[in-house]
Structure 1
């Protein structure tokens, strides 16, 4: 079963469990996180947790996908035709960097790297809920912008991946290697401006 096929239960109790799982996975990583600790953090019984999720891997996958869907839902509506491509790209890049520089994103990346060799489904969850979902959402904007004639993109998936990589320049490498964990507004804007200018030089009309 892929991440995209997992049905995330709904309801207040489920959200408590997902919020508890998020806090525990960020604080302790995947291996040291326990269903007991997740239940305590969520203020529910362990039986409640298991009534929704069969095991820790299923809970992790659902938690991560729910977080990514929430992030996608909170993003600005890029298909607003009143936005210039430069404005829309800057907003998309900003939203992505706000996420990538969060404690949650760094914790999920470390879990993916550490656990995927033993649990390949965790890597799939990370990929499908992160890069693949982001490519689909941003790709929809690129396709619509190309149809409106404000961008000229022939390979939608490649262009989406290229923009995401441009926005990660310098910042993500420094975070992953532990060189720097916080960034000033000027540092973020410098990276975003370069990403948008480079992308527009290649795909602008």
Structure 2
């Protein structure tokens, strides 16, 4: 096997990211130092700078990876075959599960804490981009409107409303420390059922 060029070894990059993740989740963004990350990752500081310019870029990478994991699962859910209500309930439940898990909540608290100084860290998760979840769900609503299952004059508004119904209450309670542990499977299921029932009361073509 040939040697990787500087900054292109995926194993070394993963080692750095995992070390940084451990540090950020334990002490937050401001308290984390590159020395801490060096020790946690088991690499030299010089090696870290070959792959990442600063700790802001490292934290942004961690946020984007967490987002990608959640969104890939959600896109797969929306692309599945089946009745629209079943698909949306699975989507709603998986979205709430991903957004209320310990790592996501910790990362968002950290990002919000430094948002004024580093707005790009918040934009990394919530900003617009080609894989934006609103766009993905909007495309689903458009397609299911075309097939006659949904009726939405403004599919994007419908998509945003479902996202809010699926995350707003539980996610905010987790984010602000009003719910110490992630919601149970039963709580997630009840929320998804209620969210989709309300959504379909407005947008089902059968209503």
TM-score (norm 1): 0.84
Aligned-residue offset at 1:28: 1.4
Q: 2:66, 2:104 within 8 Å by CA — same for their partners in 1?
A: no
Distance 1:126 1:193 in 2: 26
How far apart, CA to CA, are the structure 2 residues paired with 1:133 and 1:25?
25
> CA shift at 1:57, angstroms?
1.2
Q: Which residue in 2 is equivalent to 1:191? A: 191
Matches within 5 A, 1:143-182: 143-182=142-181
The Cα of 1:121 is off from its aligned counterpart by: 1.8
TM-superposed deviation, 1:181:
2.3
Cα deviation, residue 81, structure 1: 5.8
Larger-gyration structure (1/2): 2
Q: How many residues align?
A: 197
- In the alignment, structure 1 residue 57 sits paired with structure 2 residue 33: no
1:94 match: 93
Alignment of 1:122-133 (within 5 A): 122-128=121-127, 133=132
Hey, what's the Cα distance between the residues in 2 that align with 1:129 and 1:67?
16
How far is 1:146 from its partner? 2.1
Alignment TM-score, normalising by the size of structure 2: 0.83
Shift of 1:10: 7.0
Q: Which residue of 2 aligns with 1:84?
A: 83
**2:93–2:191 contact (8 Å) kept in structure 1:** no
Asked if 2 retains the 8 angstrom alpha-carbon contact of 1:20 and 1:38, the reply is yes
Shift of 1:116: 0.8
Give the Cα–Cα distance (whole angstroms) in 1 for the partners of residues 61 and 174 of structure 2: 25
Structure 1 residue 155: deviation in Å? Answer: 2.3
Relative distance call for 1:93 and 1:164 in structure 2 (3 A) is same
Show the counterpart of 1:34: 33
SS of 2:135 mapped into structure 1: helix
